[in-house]
C-alpha cells in the first residue's frame, strides 16, 4: 500500500446497517464510485463479525477486490465467544497472536492479502523486536503488504519504525479532540512524510449533537467556515482536520453515502490560517498564546 487515499471508509458499525449481501455489494460499488478506495476494519469490529460481512460481499462480487484496498487491525482481545479462554480484555501484540489474527482476517475477508495491517493499541508487554519480526515475516509471505500502528505515541511509533518501515499511525483527531496537536504525533507524521489516519474526525457525532459549551462554540465557528465555502458543517470539520501539514486521512464512520460524499468534498477545500485558528480557538476556549 504505497500511499493512502485522501479519505478512508470506516466499517466499525457495518453490522448495524442491516444490509444483505447484495446491498453490501451495491454500497461498496457506490463508495468506490465516490473515489474512496480503502476500507478500514479491525478484527474486533461487530463482535468479530464485520470482516466476515465484508468478505461475503467480496465473494459475491470477486471483481471488487482488485479495485479496493483492505485495512485491518489486530492486538485487542475481547471477552467474547469468538475468543475462548479470554477472561479479561487485554492487548496482545505477540508474534503468535499477530500471525493468528492475520490468518483469521484473511479467511473472514475472503482475500489472500491485507493491504495495510495495524496494531490496534499499544501493548505494554510487547517488545518492538517481536512485533517487527512478525510484520516482516507476514510481508515476506505476501500476506500483508504494508504495516502500521494505531493510537501509538510518537515514541512508541519511533521505536517500531526503527525496526520495520511503518506506513501510518491511526489516531484520534477532531475539532473537539486536539491532543494530537500537542503530543507530537502529528509533528512526527509530517516530519516522516507518513500521513496519519484519523478516527472519529467528527467527534463520534458530538459535533452535531452535544450541548456543552465547547461543542456549541465549535459548531458556531465551523458554521462560519461552512457558509464561506458553501458546504455542510461536516465537510467544514473534515476540511479543518485535513488542513494540518501532516495531511491527515479521515476515516468515515457512516454507511450513508451522503456522509461519505461530504468527506470527499472536504478534499476540495483549504481553510485559511485564520479560519483554521478560529476553530482551534473555539475548541480550546482561548486565543493562541
Mean pLDDT of 55-79: 97
- What's residue 3's pLDDT? 81
Helix axes 233-242, 213-229, angle to 10 degrees: 90
Hey, which residues are catalytic here? 45
Q: How large a percentage of the chain has pLDDT more than 90? A: 99
The pLDDT confidence band at residue 143, using thresholds 50, 70 and 90, is very high
- What's residue 282's pLDDT? 98
Nearest 5°: CA angle at 257, between 253 and 258? 95
- Tens digit of pLDDT for each residue in 36-65? 999 999 999 999 999 999 999 999 999 999
Specify the pairing of strand 69-74 against strand 76-77. unpaired
- What's residue 1's pLDDT? 62
Mean pLDDT of 5-16: 97
Q: How far apart are CA 112 and CA 142, in angstroms?
A: 8
Burial of 265 (0-12, 13-18, 19+ CB in 10 A): buried
Mean pLDDT of 255-264: 97
- What's residue 2's pLDDT? 62
Residue whose grid cell is 479543518: 240
Question: Measured between alpha carbons, how far is residue 51 from residues 17, 40, 116, 131, 210 in Å?
Answer: 14, 10, 14, 23, 31
- pLDDT averaged over the chain? 97
- Tens digit of pLDDT for each residue in 155-184? 999 999 999 999 999 999 999 999 999 999
pLDDT above 90 (res 127)? yes
Q: Count the residues in the chain.
A: 289
- What's residue 12's pLDDT? 96
Domains assigned to the chain: 8-167 (3.20.20.100)
- What's residue 57's pLDDT? 98
Mean pLDDT of 140-146: 98
Amino acid at each position: 500500500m504505497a500511499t493512502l487515499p485522501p479519505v478512508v471508509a470506516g466499517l466499525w458499525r457495518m453490522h448495524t446497517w442491516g444490509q444483505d449481501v447484495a446491498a453490501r455489494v451495491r454500497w461498496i460499488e457506490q463508495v468506490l464510485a465516490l473515489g474512496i478506495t480503502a476500507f478500514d476494519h479491525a478484527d474486533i469490529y461487530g463482535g468479530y463479525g464485520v470482516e466476515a460481512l465484508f468478505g461475503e460481499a467480496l465473494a459475491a462480487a470477486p471483481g471488487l477486490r482488485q479495485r479496493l484496498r483492505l485495512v485491518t487491525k489486530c492486538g485487542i482481545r475481547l471477552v467474547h465467544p469468538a475468543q475462548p479462554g479470554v477472561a479479561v480484555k487485554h492487548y496482545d501484540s505477540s508474534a503468535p497472536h499477530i500471525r493468528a489474527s492475520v490468518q483469521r482476517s484473511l479467511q473472514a475477508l475472503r482475500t489472500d492479502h491485507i493491504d495495510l495491517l495495524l496494531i490496534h493499541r499499544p501493548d505494554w508487554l510487547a517488545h518492538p523486536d517481536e512485533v517487527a519480526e512478525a510484520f516482516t515475516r507476514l510481508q515476506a509471505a505476501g500476506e500483508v503488504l504494508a504495516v502500521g500502528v494505531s493510537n501509538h505515541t510518537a515514541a512508541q511509533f519511533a521505536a517500531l519504525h526503527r525496526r520495520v518501515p511503518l506506513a501510518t499511525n491511526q489516531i484520534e483527531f477532531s475539532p473537539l479532540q486536539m491532543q494530537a496537536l500537542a503530543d507530537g504525533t502529528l509533528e512526527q507524521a509530517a516530519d516522516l512524510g507518513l500521513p496519519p489516519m484519523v478516527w472519529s474526525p467528527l467527534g463520534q457525532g458530538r459535533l452535531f449533537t452535544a450541548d456543552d459549551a465547547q461543542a456549541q462554540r465549535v459548531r458556531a465557528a465551523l458554521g462560519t467556515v461552512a457558509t464561506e465555502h458553501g458546504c455542510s458543517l461536516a465537510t467544514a470539520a473534515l476540511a479543518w482536520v485535513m488542513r494540518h501539514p501532516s495531511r491527515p486521512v479521515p476515516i468515515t464512520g457512516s454507511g450513508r453515502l451522503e456522509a461519505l460524499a461530504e468527506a470527499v468534498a472536504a478534499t476540495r477545500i483549504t481553510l485559511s490560517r485564520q479560519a483554521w485558528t478560529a476553530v482551534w480557538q473555539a475548541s480550546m476556549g482561548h486565543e493562541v498564546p
